[in-house]
Amino acid sequence: MTEQTASFVRQQIAEPRRAPVRTTGVIGFARERLFNSPLNIMITLIGAALLWLILVPAVKFLFVDAVWHGSDRNACLEANAGRVVGACWPFVQAKFDQFIYGFYPEDQRWRVNLTFALGALLLLPLLIPRAPAKALNSGLFFAAYPVIGFFLLRGGGLKGFAIHWLADLGSGLASSFQDAGARLASTAIVGPLGQGLSFVGRLVGWIGDGLAILIWPVEWLRDYIERFQSPLWTDLAATAIIVSLLMFFLTGGFRNGWRALFKSIAIFAGIAAVIVVMGLDKGGLPIVDTRSWGGLLVTLVVSVTGIVASMPVGMILALGRRSTIPLIRVFSIAFIEFWRGVPLITVLFFATYMLPLFLPGNFTVDGLVRVLIGIALFAGAYNAEVIRGGLQAVPRGQAEAASALGLSYWKTTGLIVMPQALRNVIPALVNSFIALFKDTTLVLIVAIFDLLGQLRASFADPNWATPTTLFTGFAFTGMIYFVFCFGMSRYSLFVERRLNVHKNV
């Protein structure tokens, strides 16, 4: 017996189905993210209302009702304009040079422009992953550019080189230790405390005597060099010979040291070329005191120097806090907790008015340099904790595997552990950099006029005293700060995606 199956044949055309819900494009994004639930619909409507209340008046003030042309305050007064006046952009045009250069001499502002251009030309290839010659570019940006930028912005020339500097520094340190030891040893306090201070004073004095003995050959060489007709070039040549020979013998001598020797000679040849081109042996460019600097120039100098200088400080402190040597660990912890325990304003006051008291001998430090030192140490303490968090996130097996392969501690840290740690903390580091860039406005407290300081100084001009001048100036500076901070944020996201930080497990 066979089974028979019944077949069904449709006699009419099937009804057309509805098109699938669109999930791509603007409509799909709105349906999936903004209107996919009653709660999201309510939040979207509230957000749209808030944006309407904020953006429409802002756009109207900045562009629609703004004044674009004028030579004084009369153009931005409602009584003269006959209408509601928004942003007073002629004020920004009139004060633009002050916002960028501060009180830098007008005939010397080409030096600032050249410094900005050199910085951009050296920085952009570092930010492009596929750009060639990264090592050479890094050396030029982090080593050569700060020196060239200093002599471009400040001016002046060189009177000595490494041997002179080492001799002067050693002499100052030796004399400072000897004076401090003599004062402690001659204390009038009686009892155990007086004996302890006397012993510490003698110990400090012995350290000063030891430094004086060690530095004596360098001082003799400096005095001998000063007898020549061109002491700067003689000093440079002597320094080049000593350093090149040390590099040659420390890196393998006649077997493997030739490459280091040629690199050292090339570096000193480049230094000599810079000295000739900039005329540093003949007094250099006219000196512009840092008290004349201001505006965006000071903001970039303080922020970039603080960011670059705080990174090695933070890495050293982070490694020191994880060290197994008690003295190093205790010092690192004390340093980090001290600088994190005081506000930045206190640090700026301390660096400006108290740092000279701790310098050896007759050493004097420029006011802006003091601020740079304080900000670098302050930011370094914060970066240390961020980097330490990244070091703790690296599995212990990474260091153990490197040790099993025979790598030393420094090679393990520099090649294996630290790169992974820094990759893990890119968002936190960039967040610190953005905060530091905005905190540079606090230098106004110690009479250094950055971008915001120059803006506040420009409000004192009675020729531009209008009801909208204040809001226009702050809107302009706010745009500048937003561009820099948003740029750092977006580039950090690009680096994260390229290194697959978001996929790291």
Tell me, what CATH number does 492's domain have? 1.10.3720.10
Domain boundary among 215, 246, 278: 278
Same domain? For 488 and 389 the reply is yes
Same-domain status, 272 and 303: no
Tell me, yes or no, whether 428 lies in a domain.
yes
Token pair in block for residue 190: 């009686």
7 in a domain, yes or no? Answer: no
Long-range CB pairs of 235-240, under 8 A, 24+ apart, other chains included = 235/160, 235/161, 235/162, 235/163, 235/164, 236/161, 236/268, 236/271, 236/272, 236/275, 238/163, 239/161, 239/162, 239/163, 239/268, 240/264, 240/265, 240/268
Tell me, yes or no, whether 72 lies in a domain.
no
Question: Whole domain around residue 424: which residue ranges?
Answer: 95-156+291-499
> What residues in the chain have per-residue pLDDT under 50?
1, 505
Q: Are residues 438 and 296 in the same domain?
A: yes
Residue type, 460: A
Give yes or no: residues 146 and 271 share one domain: no
For the chain, how many residues are written? 505
Tell me: do 301 and 393 sit in the same domain.
Answer: yes
In this prediction, residue 505 carries a pLDDT of 45
Domain termination site, one of 278, 301, 324? 278
pTM of the entire structure?
0.84
CB–CB of 421/393 below 8 Å?
yes
| Same structural domain, 207 and 308 | no
pLDDT, residue 6, reads 62
Q: Which among 354, 352, 357, 382 is positioned nearest to 369, based on CA atoms?
A: 352
Q: Are residues 147 and 190 in the same domain?
A: no
Residue 230 falls within a domain, yes or no? yes
Report the phi/psi class of residue 202: left, alpha or beta, with left for phi > 0 and alpha for psi in -120 to 50. Answer: alpha
**DSSP-derived secondary structure letter, 355:** G
DSSP state of 416: I
Angstrom distance (rounded) from CA 145 to CA 138? 10
Asked if 349 and 390 count as a contact pair (C-beta separation under 8 A), the reply is no
User: How far apart, in whole angstroms, are the C-alpha atoms of residue 192 and residue 179?
Assistant: 22
CA angle (165 as vertex; 162, 168 as ends), nearest 5: 150
Within this chain, do residues 174 and 146 fall inside the same structural domain, yes or no? no
Query: Residue 244 is inside which H or E element, if any?
Result: helix 231-250
Same domain for 169 and 185: yes
Q: Which helix (H) or strand (E) holds 312?
A: helix 296-321
Q: Are residues 252 and 297 in the same domain?
A: no
Q: Which of 283, 161, 158, 157 is nearest to 222 (CA)?
A: 161
Residue 94 CA to residue 114 CA, distance in Å, equals 23
Number of domains in the chain: 3
Using alpha carbons only, give the angle 208, 210, 213 rounded to the nearest 5 degrees: 110
Q: Which of 48, 64, 80 is the last residue of a domain?
A: 64
58 and 105 part of one domain? no
The CA distance from 464 to 147, in Å, is 39
Same domain, 146 and 173: no
